């Protein structure tokens, strides 16, 4: 297996020592995306928030800086990510403010309507069927709950060499916006940020109070 192929596989499912190195590197690349996403989410002090694909857990502390009396629930498919995030957030986990689960974004292990906010950062291009994830985000949000989905600008990210390997699904922005709306979200908008690495889009939407 050549290096680029190995990196591509790790980008989709980081594991082991290489995975830990990759998570540290990815966090440096995307922490500005995460900060921007948090700023856009209109987080309230008592919000219960879901993060899909929390990586090494750096964004969890950003979210809790605003949800000061709320909680964060995270899901990840990588055991390495769970190990790293558990260490980084050990005190918050012991206090019951953070709960981490091994689960895929398209099969969330939660009941309907339990979260105030849901977000995912820098995961859209490693998900083959993002619509399935968006439908799950919609399901577990409370009525009037808000979702945020942030990912690099495709035209910039496509120049990143590992993207040419297996494990990436470089969805067009219009296609992501469509499946986001089709999941049921209303008042949808896409914000743009040219000041972060690769540039970024953030799709925002609301689960309606009354579902027809």
Given a cut of 60, whether residue 194 has pLDDT beyond it is yes
Query: What residues have CB less than 8 Å from 77, skipping those under 6 apart?
Result: 13, 102, 103, 104
Q: How confident is the model at residue 1 (pLDDT cuts 50, 70, 90)?
A: very low
Looking at 3.30.530.20, 3.40.50.150, 3.90.230.10, 3.50.50.60, the CATH number of the domain 3-206 comes to 3.40.50.150
Q: Which residues pair with 74 in a beta bridge?
A: 51, 100
Q: What is the tens place of the pLDDT at every residue in 5-14? A: 555 555 555 5
What sections of 102-210 are H helices per DSSP? Answer: 130-140, 154-157, 173-182
pLDDT in tens, 44-68: 999 999 999 998 898 998 999 999 9
- pLDDT, residue 145, reads 98
With beta carbons less than 8 A apart as the criterion, state whether 59 and 32 touch: no
C-alpha distances (whole Å) from 137 to each of 58, 104, 195, 202 are 21, 11, 27, 15
Q: Give the pLDDT band (50/70/90) at residue 161.
A: low
- Please give the pLDDT value at position 162: 66
Question: CA angle, corner 10, sides to 204 and 59, nearest 5?
Answer: 40
Is pLDDT above 60 for 27?
no
Query: For residue 97, is it left (φ>0), alpha (ψ between -120 and 50) or beta?
Result: alpha
Output the six-digit token pair for 178: 């469509």
What CA–CA distance (Å, rounded) separates 143 from 50? 15
């Amino acid at each position: 297996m050549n290096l680029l192929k190995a990196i591509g596989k790790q980008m989709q499912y980081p594991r082991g020592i290489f995975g830990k190195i990759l998570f540290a590197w990815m966090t440096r690349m995307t922490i500005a995306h995460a900060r921007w996403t948090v700023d856009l989410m209109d987080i309230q002090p008592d919000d219960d928030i879901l993060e899909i694909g929390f990586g090494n857990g750096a964004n969890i502390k950003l979210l809790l800086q605003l949800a000061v009396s709320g909680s964060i629930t995270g899901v990840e498919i990588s055991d390495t990510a769970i190990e790293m995030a558990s260490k980084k957030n050990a005190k918050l986990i012991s206090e019951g403010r953070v709960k981490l689960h091994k689960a895929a974004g398209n099969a969330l292990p939660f009941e309907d309507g339990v979260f105030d906010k849901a977000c995912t950062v820098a995961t859209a291009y490693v998900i083959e069927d993002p619509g399935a994830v968006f439908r799950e985000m919609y399901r577990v949000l409370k009525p009037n709950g808000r979702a945020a989905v942030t990912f690099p600008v495709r035209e910039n990210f496509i120049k990143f060499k590992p993207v040419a390997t297996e494990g990436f699904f470089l969805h067009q922005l219009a296609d992501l916006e469509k499946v986001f709306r089709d999941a049921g979200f209303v008042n949808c908008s896409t914000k743009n940020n040219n000041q972060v690495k690769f540039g970024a889009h953030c799709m925002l939407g609301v689960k309606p109070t009354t579902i027809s």
